[in-house]
Amino acid sequence: MNRNTFSYKLKQVLMFAGPGTILFFCVVVVPFVYGLYLTFTSWDGVSPNKPFVGFENYVAAFQDSAYWIALGRTAIYSIFAVVFINVLAFALAYLVTSGVKGQNFFRAGFFVPNLIGGIVLGYIWKFVFNRAYVALASAIAGGQVASPLSTTGGAMFCLIFVSVWQYAGYMMLIYVAGFMSVSDSLKEAAMIDGCTPSQAMRNVTIPLMRSSFVQCIFLSITRCFVVYDVNLSLTKGEPFGTSVMAAMHVYNTAFTYKKYGLGQAEALILFLVCAIVGVTQVVIGKKGEVEA
């Protein structure tokens, strides 16, 4: 059989890439394009009519101050969460690859929070902050102590704390893979050349793990920017609507306020912001990547 003919190649492509492509097209491309179309309508999410309104929704999205406040809040939340997630994940990865006793048990243990869904996790921590913490702190301090979820700063702290707790274990695994990919011989060579362990870490291990950093930071940025589940179950946007993140605002606009077109336009802006931040970070990160 001639393997260089067009029909042979087409068949091969269809057989292996066809199902995936069709599926990708159906569940990603079509909804995306349809969603884009809906941003030009004033559809309420229910009506059979979808009146075309041009760029009105985009104008409204830019004028929706609550949306931009929520987006700004999401950016602040993301900055703190991404930094803490990665610092903690790196530290944990270092600990569980340094040869401590039972390190496999610890790896599994730190990863477990990631297996619990965001909704369940939010409810668990809500109980901890609202009931356990309040009961314990009130008993110690004497008198009623306020829950951290009842203040604006406290609610943000709780959101960041829970996200770090959720994702640090997952990112730890990627850092563990990074640590294991750095050959011991390189570290040993550095030590023989007179490096202290911290110098070897800074000048040999970390530069060689750059791809792990790029991946982890990308994953944590994109996940933090579109956070919804923990936001819903832990704070529900409260107190006084001061912990409403961008995704929650988009959901409320589209489904609760029945402004589907506007919600969709705001979702698109969120997507673009998220994509620009994520891709920029990957491009910058990849530039300086080194190989052993």
Partner 1 sequence: MKKSTVKKLLVVMLTFAMVFAMAACGGGGGGDEGSTDAAGGFTIFNSKSEIQGAFEELAKQYTEETGVPVEVYMSQDTVAAHLATKYASKDPYTLNMVDPKDIYSLGVQYGLDMSGMDWISDTTRAIEVDGKVLGYPTCVEGRGIIYNGTAIKNITGKDFDPASIKTLDDFTAICEELKKGGMEAPVGILKDDWSLAAHYLAQAIEEREDVDGYVASLKAGEAKIIDDPKFNSLMDTFDVLMKYNAFAANASSVEREQVEQMLSEGQIAFMFGGNWDFALMKDFDYTGGAGMMAVPQKEEDAYTGKLLGGGSKYFYIDASEGTTPEEQQMAKDFLEWLRTSEAGQTFISDTCGMVSPFASNTIPVNDDLGAAIKTYADADMLIPNYLYFPDDHISVMGAKMQEYLGGKCTREDLAAAYDAYWQANK
Residue whose entry in the numeric block shows the structure tokens 């496999």: 104
Per rule CB under 8 A, is residue 19 in the interface with partner 1?
Answer: yes
Amino acid at 250: V
Closest CA to 262 of 39, 15, 99: 39
- β-sheet bridge partners, residue 52: 41
Per rule CB under 8 A, is residue 54 in the interface with partner 1?
Answer: no
Q: Cβ 147 to partner 1, closest distance in Å?
A: 4
**Residue number, 89 or 265, with CB nearest to partner 1:** 265
**Residue number, 52 or 105, with CB nearest to partner 1:** 52
Distance, CA of 277 to CA of 292 (rounded, Å): 28
Per rule CB under 8 A, is residue 280 in the interface with partner 1?
Answer: no
Among 10, 14, 120, 284, contact with partner 1 (rule: CB under 8 A)? 14
**Residue number, 72 or 109, with CB nearest to partner 1:** 72
Per rule CB under 8 A, is residue 44 in the interface with partner 1?
Answer: yes
Among 88, 126, 179, 190, contact with partner 1 (rule: CB under 8 A)? 126
Per rule CB under 8 A, is residue 131 in the interface with partner 1?
Answer: yes
Among 55, 256, 275, 292, contact with partner 1 (rule: CB under 8 A)? 256
Instruction: Give the range of 53-61, 128-136, 172-180, 196-204 binding partner 1 by CB under 8 A.
Output: 128-136
**Residue number, 124 or 282, with CB nearest to partner 1:** 124
- Applying the rule CB under 8 A, the residues between 235 and 254 that interact with partner 1 are 237-242, 252
Residue whose entry in the numeric block shows the structure tokens 């999401």: 74
**Residue number, 31 or 72, with CB nearest to partner 1:** 31
**Residue number, 34 or 55, with CB nearest to partner 1:** 34
Closest CA to 4 of 12, 168, 86: 12
Conformational region of residue 240, where left means phi above 0, alpha means psi within -120 to 50, and beta covers everything else = left
**Residue number, 26 or 79, with CB nearest to partner 1:** 26
Q: Cβ 228 to partner 1, closest distance in Å?
A: 14
Per rule CB under 8 A, is residue 120 in the interface with partner 1?
Answer: no
Per rule CB under 8 A, is residue 128 in the interface with partner 1?
Answer: no
Among 27, 79, 108, 284, contact with partner 1 (rule: CB under 8 A)? 27
Residues that bind partner 1 (CB under 8 A): 1, 11, 14-15, 18-19, 22-23, 26-27, 44-48, 126, 130-131, 134, 143-147, 149-150, 237-242, 252, 255-258
